[in-house]
Structures are given as structure tokens and as C-alpha cells.
Structure 1
């Protein structure tokens, strides 16, 4: 499984009903190349009926919360459309307090979490990002 496969799986987890053309556009491949990847992931058992396999490598991945502070003059609402384009982000909440937003991300490995963090931190309007790794999930 390579980075394009991970992007494809993340896009499917976000919305498994998207068209093949939309998925291809999101991961930067042609429609036919995306179809070949889907077929291979289906044959290998990573995807079963267009749902991720619960005991597969993605389920055994890592998760993190990113505590984001935006720059003065920016808002969470302005950042959300850009954040939605980052593969791996599964939840975003605006909060009150020292942090403006809490973002949950999931990835197959630490490299994936680092890529999400780098994408968030590099966005215009983001003043600070603090990472909290998930050690154990209870619910």
C-alpha cells in the first residue's frame, strides 16, 4: 500500500458514495488509474464492499488531536474549507479557550500524522498547532 492508496482510502472513509471521477481528482490520478487501485484494494481484501476492513492496516493506525490557534483577523470558518481537503482529518470542532479549534486526524502511521500536521501548520491564517497523540481509545 502506497501514499496514493492511503489517500484513496481516506477519501472513501470521508464519503464512500463519491464518484470515481471525484475520487480520482482528489488523489491526483486519472479515472482509470483510480479504478485499477480500487480493484486491487478490493482483490487484496483491504476494501470489502467499499468499506474499510476493520482488522486491516488502516484500523491499526494512529490518531492525533491537533489544537489549532488561528491568527488575528482569521476565523475557524475561514480555515474549514481548506482543512476539509487534507486527507486524514476526520473531525473538526471550534472551541472556546486558549485553543480555537480541535482537529482529529487518523493515519496508518506516524508519517501520515506528521503529514497532516505539516499541512495544517503551513496554512495561511494558522498561528500555532499543538499535537496530542492518542494512546488508547475507549469508545
Structure 2
């Protein structure tokens, strides 16, 4: 498991704001050399601390998307394997651990009800998931 230091935290924070920033820009913002940034990025990717780079779309950008919250119960000690499988789903928007009756809470987004139905089946077929409950998000108030 990778232990983050202050530079790692600052680098990740900058990447959250602009995942497409060039290494030279990251180095300038962080006040370190390009080689230091590249080494840190390589290590964060190799250890799995950073899974990749993506865009952030404005919340609610696609008001036609089907959005839902899924509460997930995980069997025994399979949480890490379940999380790894869930992160492979492009429809997974956010994933959280929690306490109480459910082990994980996932925010899902799909383009249509048929896509959403497929995603539900895929999630429920993941080894280690015992139970789930899903609620569609109808509107934001």
C-alpha cells in the first residue's frame, strides 16, 4: 500500500482540477522539477494509487442520463476484490465505503434504461456481492 506524503497529496489535488495538465505545468505549480513529477506520477500509477486520468463533466450535464444510488453488501473479506471489479465499470460514477447495513455505496449512470438494467445485472454477478438495493435518482432539489 502506498503512503502519500505532502507532495503526493498536492499532485493528486492538482490533477483533480486538471487531469490533462502537462508535466511541465504540474512541476511549475508544485515547485519541483519535471523529473520529480514524472517519477511521482509513475509510482502513483504503478502502485495503483492513481488509476488513470479522465475528464470531469459538469454535474447534471446530461439530464437524460439514468442516475442511481446502489447500496451493496459484500461477503466477508472480499471488499477489495469487489471494489476492483466495480471500478472497471464505465457506468460507475462514484464509489464509497460506509458503515451500517451496507458495505459500499455506488453512484451509477447509464444512457438508457436498458443500459441501466445491464449494469445492474453485471454488478449483481460480481463474486463477493451478497445483496444490493438500488434507488433511481429522479430529480435534484
Tell me what 1:104 maps to. Answer: 107
CA distance in 1, matches of 2:65, 2:137: 11
What CA distance in whole angstroms lies between the structure 1 residues aligned with 2:114 and 2:136?
13
Tell me whether 1:113 sits opposite 2:116 in the alignment.
Answer: yes
Counterpart of 1:95 in structure 2 is: 98
Which of 74, 82, 94 is 1:70 aligned to? 74
Which 5+ residue runs of structure 1 have no aligned equivalent? Answer: 1-15, 18-49
Structure having the higher Rg: 2
Structure 2 unpaired stretches of 5+: 1-18, 21-54
SS at match of 2:130: strand
How many angstroms does 1:81 deviate by? 1.5
Which of 121, 135, 139 in structure 1 is aligned with 2:138? 135
**TM-score (norm. length: structure 1):** 0.55
Tell me how far apart the structure 2 counterparts of residues 53 and 129 of structure 1 sit (CA, whole Å): 28
SS of the counterpart of 2:101?
coil
Once superposed, which parts of structure 1, at least 4 consecutive aligned residues long, lie more than 4 Å away? 50-56
User: Is residue 61–residue 109 contact of structure 1 (8 Å, CA) maintained in 2?
Assistant: yes
**RMSD over equivalenced CA pairs, Å:** 2.7
Q: How many residues align?
A: 90
